[in-house]
């Protein structure tokens, strides 16, 4: 398995409706083990193990066309991310499945956040994923 190293230290999205975005990200990131670490009147910091790798802050103009992919520990976690995101203001942008244009080991789901950003959860399987798993393509 490939050892991955941090390339980007953190990401910040500017949001239009802070409470709607907080609800969305709290729910969508929870299955991934990413929690809201700190709230401020104008934003929130999210991460794992006390490290704030992702932030949202209210402002203008809102970030509307960015893409961020969050690491998932397994396929069930990707599925849970997708469900939670859709139940909390997200819009489907690609249901869970193997996205073969990236790899036969790339299991992911994509949603649009309340501002239209493409938010993804991805599991990099150590082995090719076969069987009844849906195959997805853009």
Give me the pLDDT at residue 130, please.
Answer: 86
Q: What is the pLDDT of residue 1?
A: 56
What is the model's pLDDT at position 70?
A: 97
Q: Find the range with the poorest average confidence among 28-37, 45-54, 63-72, 126-135.
A: 126-135
The fold of the 11-136 domain, in CATH, is 2,3-Dihydroxybiphenyl 1,2-Dioxygenase; domain 1 (3.10.180)
* Sequence spans of domains, the chain: 11-136
Percent of the chain exceeding pLDDT 90 equals 87
Q: How much is the pTM?
A: 0.93
Give the tens place of pLDDT for each residue, 72-116: 999 999 999 999 999 999 999 999 999 999 999 999 999 999 999
Separation of alpha carbons 51 and 48, rounded Å = 6
- The pLDDT of 14-42, averaged and rounded, is 98
Helix, strand, or coil (residue 86): helix
Supply the angle between the helices 18-29 and 75-87 in degrees, to the nearest 10. Answer: 160
Cα distances (Å, whole numbers) of residue 63 to 16, 125, 137: 8, 31, 26
Is a pLDDT exceeding 90 seen at residue 43?
yes
């Amino acid at each position: 398995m490939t050892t991955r190293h941090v390339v980007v230290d953190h990401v910040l999205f500017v949001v239009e409706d802070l409470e709607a975005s907080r609800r969305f990200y709290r729910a969508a990131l929870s299955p991934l083990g990413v929690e809201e670490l700190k709230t401020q009147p104008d934003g929130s910091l999210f991460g794992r193990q006390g490290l704030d790798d992702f932030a949202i802050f209210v402002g203008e103009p809102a970030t509307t066309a960015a893409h961020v992919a969050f690491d998932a520990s397994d396929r069930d976690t990707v599925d849970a991310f997708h469900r939670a995101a859709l139940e909390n203001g997200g819009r489907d942008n690609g249901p869970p499945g193997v996205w073969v244009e990236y790899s036969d080991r790339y299991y992911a789901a994509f949603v649009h956040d309340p501002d239209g950003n493409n938010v993804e959860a991805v599991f990099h399987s150590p082995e090719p994923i076969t069987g009844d798993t849906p195959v997805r393509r853009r």
